Amino acid sequence: MNTRRSALLIALLCTITQASAEFITPYRPYESQRLRLIYQVQTDDSVSALAQDSGLALEDIKQSLTRKDTEKTRPSSALPANKKSLSEVIQAPQAGDLNITVQAGAQRKSAGETAVYYFNTQADQEWQGDISLSLASSLASARLSTRSIIAGEPFSLSVPTTPNCQSGDYMFTITATAKNGKQVRQQAVSLELLPNHTITHSYNNTQKITITDHNTHGIKSIIKVPRTGTVYGISLMVEIDHPWRSDLQVTLTSPSGTRHTLDKRDEPTASSCHYRLKQFEGETSQGDWTLSITDRASGDQGYLHGWTMEILSYEPQSPSDLTKNLN
């Protein structure tokens, strides 16, 4: 019996020694930022104790092998009672924290409309008392609903625009400062302002075309746009079936002759590819829009199943119209 116990003890000691060595080997950092932080904290505080914990575990096993079955046992010292679980570490509050959340932080409006952003706040005790709010705005008309809140109170930002307001992208940054002046937090929102009286028209070409393999001339598909207007933006969807999308070069050419290559890094892996294009802003929408596809490698054949183009356009206002809007 003693021989069998000795053999079992030796086998267990070899296995645990190997497992301990593997356990204290540094892990590959987690992809999640929160888990990576937890890993770093636990590594700094606990890795040095792993060897000691493993030694305690070995002593427990030795004693259990030599202990009579009638003897009372005690909890293993290898599982300290003061160790925190992973969920406890994740849920632990961070000191000096103020969370500012916003509903619909990126909005799109036409000139003459008003954008409104709604904010909620949550904070710990270091943010007790009055919290000052300030606004950095690229539109002078933007206004905060209040300049001072206490933690937990909501507030809003209103951005009214006029019909003749310049179209484009605008940013607004709210800065919150604690009463002690030491803690500062910021939250930014954005507004894409479209020209006044914009209108969207959709056009498509559903003709299926074989994409010629390894042909520098490629294929062309045309959409004729009958309506006049000034282009503000284009939303494009292309349906392509090809085993190697990286072989293809896809370009869109406007009636004015502007040619834009659809960047591969914007292409999803699915057959339906969506693009939002600003490269044709200010051009006329009327005329032939040409989609060109070139297969630059050999060995695979594909198909264009069709494409759809939505043009967001507007009619530029005359000086007399601008005067009326200002009045």
Q: Answer whether residue 321 is part of any domain.
A: no
Let me know whether 67 and 111 are in one domain.
Answer: no
Domain assignment present for residue 287? The answer is: yes
Q: Could you say which of 91, 124, 142 is where a domain stops?
A: 91
CATH number, residue 181: 2.60.40.10
- Residues 186 and 209 grouped into a single domain: no
Q: Are residues 181 and 207 in the same domain?
A: no
Tell me which DSSP letter residue 206 carries: -
pLDDT band at residue 54, thresholds of 50, 70 and 90?
very low
Residue 79 in any domain: the answer is: no
Which of these three, 159, 194, 229, is where a domain ends? 194
302 is a domain residue? yes
Task: Specify if 179 maps to a domain.
Answer: yes
- What is the number of domains present in the chain? 3
Buried-exposed string 138-162: b where 16+ CB fall within 10 A, e elsewhere: ebeebebeeeebebeeebebebebe
Give domain status of residue 323, yes or no.
Answer: no
pTM above 0.75, yes or no: no
- Looking at residues 262-275, what average pLDDT do you find? 65
d(CA 75, CA 60) in angstroms, rounded, equals 9
User: What average pLDDT does the chain have?
Assistant: 75
Q: Domain range spanning residue 41?
A: 2-71+84-91
If asked whether residues 190 and 203 sit together in one domain, one would say no
CATH code, domain carrying 259: 2.60.120.260
Q: Rounded distance, CA 47 to CA 39, Å?
A: 10
Q: Is the Cβ–Cβ distance between 299 and 251 less than 8 Å?
A: no
Q: Of 174, 194, 214, which marks where a domain is finished?
A: 194
Of 15-24, 148-157, 209-218, 255-264, the range with the highest mean pLDDT is 148-157
Q: Is residue 39 scored above 50 in pLDDT?
A: no
